[in-house]
Amino acid sequence: MGQKTKTFIAITLPIQVLLVKWIGNYPNFVEEYYSNGIYPYISQFSRILFGWIPFSFGDLVYTALVILVIRYIYKHWKNIKRKPLLFLKDIALVLSIVYFTFHLLWGMNYHRQPITWKLGIEREYTIEELVELTQYIADKTNQYQFELTGDTVLPVHIPYSKKEIFSKTEEAYANFAKEFPDFKYQHRSLKSSIYSVPLTFMGYGGYLNPFTNEAQVNGITPKFRLPTVSGHEVGHQLGYSAEGATNFIGFLVTSHSTDPYFKYSAYNHALGYCLSDLFYKDEKKYNEIVATINPGVKENFNELRDFWLKYENPLEPVFKSVFNTFLKVNNQKEGIKSYNAVVGLIINYRKQQFPHN
């Protein structure tokens, strides 16, 4: 590639940033022409192209790119020191290409209408509504824990392999799409990440590769949590970028599943968010509801806590801070806190579906 071409591509980076920011001011346009226009075709094509591969192709691509970058710097170190401006141009060139590809293949979804707009619900709620939901979710979690174990003291252990969980996630989406056709999901591309251990050290349960559209799940996560994590990542595949929205989608899909293990996973996951929110808003009510939770459910919570504690490290807050900044830059003003938006979404969804309850 000639230097003039490199210069041209490099200087388009700030132009792209401004253009994306400008288009982001028109979420209806993004919703109609990108998220519901060209993106579904891009997503389906990518899933057909890479979904059949039994391992994460995107993880291998990332690995190869890192190796190539290290190799390039090692081989050209003298030239880099001698002509640093040319090296900076190369960096700008790469960033420009990555930025364009990211937004074309998936990233513009950050600027679509929120899921509250699509479903016609709100996010705000009162403490009384939070208490009511938390007790309801706790009761449902207890119900499925007892149904699956036959005892209140035993934790739930999902008997399926990861491959079976991924297959059942696809089935759960098919079942959910009967009521909500917009969430139709075909050509599964849902995989356990090759880098599940590094993901755990970073504190992540999974991620969507925006370049290959592979939904990556942290494969060493306790199995009782995998159905909702899988549902969450497929929500990203379908074009929903906000973490609270995909938590909500993951809950809806798994709770509407015909499989009791999936239902338990959905309510257990939601219960964690509800209790966390309630603890800071009404500790007395929090303690009252915790006292009603089956010991087996608490054992699953302990299993999850022990899992994350095992991999706790000083760099995890750094990774979370970087991701928090990334979310804020990409139109999620609450950053990582947006995960907790699932509580308000569930409350208002239930109010919409069951207005007289």
**54 plus 104 within the same structural domain:** yes
What does the pLDDT average to over 45-51? 96
- Mean pLDDT across the stretch 167-194? 92
Assess whether 204 and 340 both reside in one domain: yes
Task: Indicate whether 281 pLDDT > 50.
Answer: yes
129: domain range?
115-353
Q: How confident is the model at residue 1 (pLDDT cuts 50, 70, 90)?
A: low
Same domain assignment for residues 203 and 189: yes
The model's pTM is 0.89
Give the pLDDT confidence of 199-218 residue by residue, as tens digits.
888 888 899 999 999 999 99
CA dihedral 274, 279, 284, 286 (to 10 degrees): 30
Look at residue 140 and tell me whether its pLDDT is greater than 50: yes
CB 271 within 8 A of CB 119: no
| Contact criterion met (CB below 8 Å) for 274 and 137 | yes
**Predicted local distance difference test score (pLDDT) of residue 3:** 75
For residues 192 and 99, membership in a common domain is answered with: no
When pLDDT is cut at 50, 70 and 90, the band that residue 7 belongs to is: confident
Residues 223 and 87 in one domain: no
Same-domain status, 287 and 198: yes
Provide the pLDDT for residue 256: 93
Q: Name the phi and psi angles at 221, rounded to 5.
A: -65, 145
92, 111, 130 - which closes a domain: 111
Question: Among 111, 144, 163, where does a domain finish?
Answer: 111
| For residue 289, pLDDT beyond 90 | yes
Q: 276 phi and psi, to 5 degrees? A: -60, -45
Do 61 and 122 share a domain, yes or no? no
Tell whether 71 and 126 lie within a shared domain. no
pLDDT recorded at residue 331: 53
* Least confident among 91-100, 109-118, 147-156, 330-339: 330-339
Position 325 scores a pLDDT of 56
Residue in 243, 98, 250, 115 with CA at minimum distance from that of residue 185: 250
pLDDT computed for residue 171 by the predictor? 95
Q: What is the mean pLDDT of residues 104-131?
A: 89
87 lies in the same domain as 131:
no
As for how many domains the chain has, the answer is: 2
Q: Which of 93, 111, 129 is the last residue of a domain?
A: 111
Q: Which of 334 and 101 is assigned the larger pLDDT?
A: 101
- Do 119 and 25 lie in a common domain? no
CA gap 275, 281 in Å, rounded: 10
The region of weakest confidence among 10-19, 253-262, 277-286, 311-320 is: 311-320
Does residue 144 sit in the same domain as residue 66? no
154 pLDDT exceeds 50?
yes
pLDDT at 133 over 60: yes
Average pLDDT of the chain to the nearest whole number: 88
- Would you say residue 142 has pLDDT above 90? yes
What pLDDT is recorded for position 338? 44
Residues 48 and 154 in one domain: no
